[in-house]
Chains A and B, each alone.
Chain A
Amino acid sequence: MLLALGLGALALRANSGVLSLAALTPRLEWMLSLQVSMDLHGDQANARVLLPKADDIQLVRAERVESGGLSFSVHDREGNRQAVFEADRLDGHQVATWNAIVRVLPRRWILPEASPIPTSYPDDLALHLQPTETIQSADPEIIAVAKAHTTPADVSRTVRDLFDYVHTEIRAGTYENALDARTTLRWQEAFCGGKSRLLVALLRAAKIPARMVGGLILERGAKRTTHAWVEAWINGLWIPFDALNDHFAERPAHYLQLYRGDHALISRTSDVNFQYRFHAKAWRTPPDEQAASSGGSAYDTHVLWQAFRRAEISLNLLRILLTLPVGVLVLLLLRNVVGLRTMGTFAPALLAVAFRDTGLLWGTAVFVIVIGVGIAARSVLDHFQLLHLPRLAIAMTVTILSMLVITWWSVQRGILEPAHVTMFPIAILTLTVENAFQEWQERGVRYAALLASGTLFCVACIHTVIENHFVQAIVFAFPEMLLAVLAAYLVLGRYAGLRLFELWRFRDLLGSRGQP
């Protein structure tokens, strides 16, 4: 009945034409941050960093700068965006952070067929045919290679042949990125910078305007390494090529462009100990925000959530509330159908919610540490023979303190995930510690460890399900789905079958009917 209601309401609304999966699916974006730090001794100093620019294939939004004592400004430099962090008579360790949400729309270009290489270009493009110090396109060796691969009547063929030459003939080496085009050609080995410079030089020698591009390959975690690729002017368009990673006339979704030209990412005054680091994490923009940013409503629930937002109710909280019943459903399945044993009743579901911010790995580590510290404290307390409630109060305070220490440590180390441990449900953790300790005392270490690992496994499963973006999108767009969840609870409430683990527990009874 409830199932029918829930699915019926869903079908009704889906039918009214507002549903499209694209509108439901969260969008993958990246939360990119760049942290720069300098050790200063009272002089004037600055560091200049090239920042990504929004254009038609890459989106850069929600930019934020925390520059501390440094002053921050953005300037145009040869069409690129240059950020300047400046210190005026500052001392000590200064840190500044630039944050933005970025997204690259992957794109692939189709090269024209049988189009000849133009013989002349306007001045602004002819600039991209000139040799430079590192891109020696007038060098006889480079001209010789370029000639061997040039088909004047077919620009696409020429580009393909030159690309293939650099991609396959030049080995992907571990040399520094600073190799110039001629050295790359002679050594027949280079990394992204060398390969790109050689490809630009060969294209220019073949009379195809080309230029360097500096960028960042977006992937989870911290990195300092940037990437370089090439753009060639073909039939009125600048088209990207990466001869190291074999991207021919395409920009993958994790290639964020930072600047054009053969520049260094960073330039700075010399006497400061300067450090920088990029940090990227996958950032999924929920459908409601997409709808908000696109100005229209993708589905009508959105209007409701907008009202919530106007009332300053956190949508994040709302998302937690809506996915929690789904998490509890997973918990029920694991407990009543699989037969997993866990500590506490709802504890695994609540912990899984808390793991949202720390991530599964850090969440598990932090959970194990907090519980471990708690149990250690608890076994010390046991000697004092304290009454139940005061003992719990002490356990809670120890839990809070250990969480604070973890937060402090993680902030110090610049690893932000474990810092979110403050979101952990303290009361639940405290009771979990008490529970684990008592089980340990009464039924032994093995049983307590079994319970703990069962709990963690359960948390991991719930976490995976409630962090699934499709699940999130569905319950967010169609809260009536919770009626279907209720129906599932009802079914489980009448499920009388053996749990999976009970099949194992009573395995000796298999095939032995009646009295022995």
Chain B
Amino acid sequence: MSWLGALGDFRRSVVGLNRRNLACVFPHNPRASLPAVDDKVLAKERLVSCAIRVPETRLIVRQYRELATFFAMRSGWSDFVVKPVNGAGGRGFRLGEIDAEGGWRNHRGAPIDDEDLAFHLAAILAGEHTMDGHPDSILVEELLREDPAIAAVHGTRGVADVRVIACAGRSVLAMLRLPTALSGGAANLHKGGIGVGIDLATGVTTHAVRRGRTLERHPDTGVELSGIAIPDWSGIQAIAGRVNHAFAMDYLGVDCVLERRGTFVLEVNARPGLEIQLCNRRGLADAMAAAGVPIP
């Protein structure tokens, strides 16, 4: 095949931001249904109503004076995760775990400064992590306990997840997203997390990419990143399909966490990123066409 032909194939199969918005987001994710995804509280309600397991909501803080409630209630928990209800890309995410002495520790295992945490929570309420800068609320959830096999791969206190792009009830592309020491416990790729492509047929990881560069092993633990069999792979695919139907959107990123209790859905994303093409070595347009939803 000629060089030009290869370029033509490339341009047909690989989707850029322009085409993602024009051909995937706009036609498949109607604007009216976006709030149901973007608002994490609404999204969780929808998921729960479809009998999909989600992390337990501990508290929703809507006003500054409720911050005291957070600290009062915290003494009854052993862990927590806070995130902005309307945040995107993992912005504003923080976690806390109680240690043997009853003190609170963050994702690095360092003690949590309550004053600093209170400021962070106030900043979320002020809208610092939303796209539009509007005031926001805080979602407080339980910290999910990861499947030990996956936790051993990244070795952080953060949680890895499996991002599945679902379309027409089927999985189109999938990747395992691993946090690193650098990514602050978040698995988000632009924060320095690692994306590892997953072979849809077998559920085995293929190719790892961090910030556009290929990786063989996890930089913190040295674990080889290809050839990892994702536990409960068929279960994840089934859940992604159900979420896809629940939201009636055909370009949906479903983030699943392999919890010790089973597969949980952590978040749903109506504008999933395009890096997933790199770690799967496959263009999104090809993948969507294969799932029966060809895009122009």
Contact = CB atoms under 8 A, between A and B. Distances in A.
A508 B281 contact: yes
A502 B10 CA distance: 11
B206 A499 contact: no
- Taking residues whose C-beta sits less than 8 angstroms from the other chain, chain B's interface range is 35 or more
B110 interface: no
Interface stretch (B97-105, B120-128, B163-171, B258-266): B120-128
B23 to A, nearest CB: 6
A513 B13 contact: yes
A224 interface: no
Nearest to B3: A511
Interface string A370-410: 00000000000000010111000000000000000000000
Interface string A487-498: 000000011111
B72 interface: no
Contacts of B9: 511, 513
B122 A512 contact: no
Contacts of A505: 212, 278
Nearest to B135: A388
A290 interface: no
Contacts of B133: 388
B32 interface: no
Contact of A513 (B11, B22, B127, B286): B286
Nearest to B120: A385
A516 B209 CA distance: 14
Contacts of A499: 16-18
Contacts of A122: none
Given A442-B191, A494-B22, A505-B212, A387 B281 contact: no
Contacts, number: 83
Interface string B198-220: 01000000110000101000000
Contacts of B11: 497-498
A388 B18 contact: no
Contacts of A506: 10, 14, 16, 274, 277-278, 283
Given A510-B7, A511-B6, A511-B10, A496 B282 contact: no
A288 B88 CA distance: 50
Contacts of A389: 126
Most buried by B among A336, A385, A506: A506
B123 A388 contact: yes
B77 interface: no
B53 interface: no
Contacts of A508: 214, 278, 281
A120 interface: no
Given A388-B123, A499-B17, A516-B207, A509 B10 contact: yes
Q: A-side binding surface: helix, strand, loop or mixed?
A: loop
Contact of A336 (B18, B127, B191, B214): B18
A512 B281 contact: yes
Contacts of A336: 18
A514 interface: yes
A119 interface: no
Interface in A419-454: 442-443
A516 to B, nearest CB: 5
Contacts of B123: 387-388
B192 to A, nearest CB: 8
Contact of B17 (A443, A502, A516): A502
Contacts of A442: 91, 191
B20 to A, nearest CB: 9
A392 to B, nearest CB: 10
A334 to B, nearest CB: 13
Given A508-B214, A513-B286, A514-B286, A496 B18 contact: yes
Contact of A498 (B14, B22, B197, B281): B14
B127 A385 contact: no
A480 B228 CA distance: 61
A225 interface: no
A515 interface: yes
A497 B7 CA distance: 13
A499 B16 CA distance: 7
Contacts of B14: 498, 502, 506, 509
Interface in B1-33: 6-7, 9-11, 13-14, 16-19, 22-23
A385 B22 contact: no
Contacts of B115: 385
Contacts of A502: 14, 16-17
B190 interface: yes
Interface in B41-63: none
**Interchain residue pairs A-B with the least CB separation, the first 10:** A498-B16, A496-B19, A388-B126, A385-B119, A502-B16, A516-B281, A511-B6, A496-B22, A506-B14, A510-B10
Interface of A: 336, 339, 385, 387-389, 442-443, 494-499, 502, 505-506, 508-516
26 contacts: A339-B17, A385-B119, A388-B133, A389-B126, A497-B11, A497-B19, A498-B11, A498-B14, A498-B16, A498-B19, A505-B212, A505-B278, A506-B274, A506-B283, A508-B214, A509-B10, A509-B14, A509-B278, A509-B281, A509-B282, A511-B10, A512-B281, A513-B9, A513-B13, A515-B199, A516-B282
